[in-house]
Chains A and B, each alone.
Chain A
Amino acid sequence: MHSESFWRKDIFSTDHKTIGKQFLFFGIFFLLFGGFQAMLLRWQLAYPGQPVPWWLMGFLYEGTGGIIDPDGFNRLFTMHGTIMIFWAITPILIGAFGNFLIPLQIGARDMAFPTLNMISFWTFFLSGVVLLLSHFLPAGSASGGWTSYPPLSLPGGGIPGLGQAFWTLSVTLMGAATMMGAINYIITVIRLRAPGMTYWRMPLSVWGLWLTSILNAIFVPVIAAGLIMLLLDQLLGTQFFVAGRLAAGGGGDPLLFQHVFWIFGHPEVYILILPVWGIVSDLLAIYSRKPAFGYKVTSICMSTIVVLSSIVWGHHMYTTGMSPLLGKAFMFLTLLISIPSSIFFFNWLGTLWRGSLHFDPPMLYTMSVIWVFGLGGLTGLYNATVTSDIYLHDTMFVVGHFHYTLAASVLFGGFAAIAHWFPRMFGRMLNPLMSKIHFWGTFITLNLVFFNMMVVGYAGQHRRIYNPSEYEFLQPLADMNVFITYAALVLGLFQILYLFNFVWSLVKGKVAETNPWRATTLEWTMDYPIPHGNFGEIPQVYHGPHEYSNPNTDQDWAPQTVEIKSS
């Protein structure tokens, strides 16, 4: 082994495994940060205008008499959404597991461009610093929503200070980091697969991460263009997205930003969820001791969704007064996505069918993805349909829906991935008992929170309103809002247990054997710690990633490096 200094080995490392762990810690930090903001939001919705209690760090609101003022509320939901999407989900699923898994699972020594990989992480880090700093600006952070629509997000929109500009700058930097990662992932998969590792033999996790990167490479530049224009409007006084009274001469068009935002934004939801689909497809096979049902069909369906996802963005804009014909076209295309989604969804059930199910913690998390994603997907149909969306648009129903698809599915997918690959990353097992308690606590409370959000939304409660009790027709929902808040607080408590479990297992967890889950893929073939360069010799791959219970093998699994001889 060649020796490297601390700086080269642990800080400015070019080893994909180290970079993956860096992304993981970075993402978990922001997950807790964004999660805490969610608790404060829920406090305000349950007890509007009442002082924040000490156990929710009420001292943060000393300046406003202990209560969250309307501006503070706007800042909270803006930063909660922004952080969770771009600085929690993205680094955990794409940054951490993309980096850790892709080279190991395809049999490569590292990413195609290791230095670029390192620069990508540190650009990401810098973007996070800029975002965190914006909380300390004299006039506070951004408060124009995670969508940052103009003209609200422009100087004439009434939000004081530089918060919006910091927001735009940090998201742009984050986009640049994501681009570098995407180039790396795409090329690594194309060029560095081990001999015998054909596209149809790659684990579905790699498929998901690869498709995500392709979407990133194509659509991140689109939002970058929009953000650059927004930044110029914010700082230089151009008028690209200014209209009406605020425009100096003629002005531009705020709706254009919405188009650019959602041309990126809809693919972005698939960018976030594709890695989870892949991981779930793989883990279901491992813990059912069966080949993934319809492996090829699943990867084709995921690829189809990648294509379709780029032509449906208008479903976010039904209420902007677009032509009814255009609305119908977007509705039709959006509903088309339910076909490939249902196909691979049934493939998941097919994998479970008559499998030998092992309910280890990773499997519990994985199976819960089936439930939350199913519910999220089904409620999407009502948002995709013009007639029902005109009623549901901008209500808590939408909030519940996208928390099921993004927050719940991606969180459980992330928990599953961490529990499953923890022994590979850190050489120890995540404590199973604590994991199971965390799983049940999270699963139950999370459903109580997000399902009831859809209920109050269907009853008419708008998203992003500061004080629901001010509207007479929402007053009957007050008890429900309190209930959701308590469920959310308990949900938060279980995440403290998770953090404890994570740290405890890092230090004191049971030392893991090389392949504790008896999985077939390449990342389980070497002893811990995996050296820089991964493989002593690049492995030869003989078959697909899901050879479980093959009648031609002695044990119930055959590693990809072992040839199966038919008897």
Chain B
Amino acid sequence: MSVATITSKKLFIIDEKTSSLGLIVGFVAITMLFITFLATFSSMMLKELQYIHIDLMTKMIAVGITSVLVISSLLFAISHRQWLSGKKKESSFYLASSMALGIVFLFGQISYWQLLVKQGLSGLNNVLVGMVYLMAGAHAIHLIAGLVFLAWLWLQLNKGGELKEVRYRLIGWFWHYLSALWTVILLYLIITV
């Protein structure tokens, strides 16, 4: 059998479905990580190892911060729509605002953490509080990765070169996934705590 002339470009094209499926398996893995955290948290609570008391006002602040991330996710969806209909400028603007709100959310999480610590909720003495901080931290690390993707996308948009639609879409999936993930975790915490 002959050895064909091989140029790596021609041979290794990752098609859309392949990368989408890869990302979905990634979502399964990340979800398992957080399910384990939540299950551990619930188990600690059922065993009454510790207690957490957070007043309604403080809970509402958390809801407020999280809604920033949800709005950021919506803005990304708008930006994607605009790009699809050829409005490059608008799409770049909405993408930038989505990114900005992502950063606002991140700082919101940090100041919320400081607020809770001031209220005497230490992650070192109380395992339930520790689990909450751990989940927020693990989510934040993924969010920072997401922000890097968003920044990359924004640069591509403004460089004016060709951009594959699938990249836009999959980065969007990741961003929506992250806001959905944190929304679910927060709802779970508010209901159980």
Contact = CB atoms under 8 A, between A and B. Distances in A.
Interface in B44-58: 44, 47, 49-50
A72 B120 CA distance: 43
B40 A229 contact: yes
A321 to B, nearest CB: 13
B1 interface: yes
Interface string A248-290: 1111110010011001000000000000000000000000000
A109 interface: yes
B124 A526 contact: no
Contacts of B37: 225
B108 interface: no
B22 A183 contact: yes
**Considering the complex of A and B, which 8 residue pairs feature the smallest CB-CB distances, nearest first?**
A225-B36, A221-B32, A221-B33, A536-B4, A252-B127, A249-B125, A533-B6, A191-B18
Given A226-B36, A250-B50, A240 B2 contact: no
A183 B25 contact: yes
Nearest to B135: A225
Given A110-B11, A222-B33, 17 more contacts: A1-B3, A1-B5, A1-B6, A112-B14, A113-B14, A191-B18, A226-B36, A238-B127, A239-B125, A249-B125, A252-B44, A252-B127, A253-B49, A256-B40, A525-B1, A526-B1, A536-B3
A533 B126 CA distance: 55
A310 to B, nearest CB: 11
B2 A536 contact: yes
Given A2-B7, A248-B125, A187 B18 contact: yes
Nearest to A185: B25
A237 interface: yes
Nearest to B32: A221
Interface in B25-76: 25-26, 28-30, 32-33, 36-37, 40, 43-44, 47, 49-50
A228 B43 CA distance: 17
A9 to B, nearest CB: 12
Interface in B140-177: none
A531 B29 CA distance: 33
A: interface residue count bin: 35 or more
B127 A250 contact: yes
B118 interface: no
B53 to A, nearest CB: 14
A231 to B, nearest CB: 11
Interface in A526-551: 526-527, 531-533, 536-537
B52 to A, nearest CB: 12
Majority secondary structure of chain B interface residues (helix, strand, loop or mixed): helix
B34 to A, nearest CB: 8
Given A236-B124, A239-B130, A533 B36 contact: no
B127 A217 contact: no
Contact of B12 (A114, A217, A221, A525): A114
Contacts of A109: 11-12
B6 A532 contact: yes
A186 interface: yes
A228 B3 contact: no
A537 B124 contact: no
A297 interface: no
Contacts of A220: 29
Nearest to A537: B4
17 contacts: A1-B5, A179-B29, A191-B17, A218-B28, A222-B32, A225-B40, A228-B134, A229-B40, A238-B123, A250-B125, A253-B49, A256-B40, A256-B44, A533-B6, A536-B1, A536-B3, A537-B4
A191 B49 contact: no
Given A222-B36, A229-B40, A240-B130, A532 B8 contact: yes
A229 B39 CA distance: 13
Contacts of B47: 253
B138 A228 contact: yes
Contacts of B127: 238-240, 250-253
B124 A239 contact: yes
B21 interface: yes
B134 A229 contact: yes
Contacts of B32: 218-219, 221-222
B22 A527 contact: no
A480 interface: no
Contacts of A263: 36
B121 interface: no
A487 interface: no
A224 B49 CA distance: 23
Contact of B29 (A191, A217, A256, A259): A217
Contacts of A224: 33
Interface in B82-114: none
Contacts of A217: 25, 28-29
B25 A186 contact: yes
B138 to A, nearest CB: 7
B131 interface: yes
A509 to B, nearest CB: 23
Given A112-B18, A250-B50, A187 B25 contact: yes
A240 B126 CA distance: 9
A177 to B, nearest CB: 13
Nearest to B50: A250
Given A238-B130, A239-B124, A248-B124, A221 B30 contact: yes
Contacts of A248: 124-125
A224 B30 CA distance: 10
Contact of A191 (B7, B8, B21, B138): B21
A554 B8 CA distance: 39
A232 interface: yes
A452 to B, nearest CB: 39
A190 interface: yes
Contacts of A533: 4, 6, 8, 11
B49 A252 contact: yes
Contacts of B21: 187, 190-191
Nearest to B40: A256
Contacts of B138: 228
A183 B20 CA distance: 12
Contacts of B124: 236-239, 248
Contacts of A218: 28-29, 32
Contacts of A190: 21
B46 to A, nearest CB: 11
A249 B134 contact: no
B51 to A, nearest CB: 9
A384 to B, nearest CB: 24
Contacts of A252: 44, 49, 127
A408 to B, nearest CB: 31
A259 B5 CA distance: 53
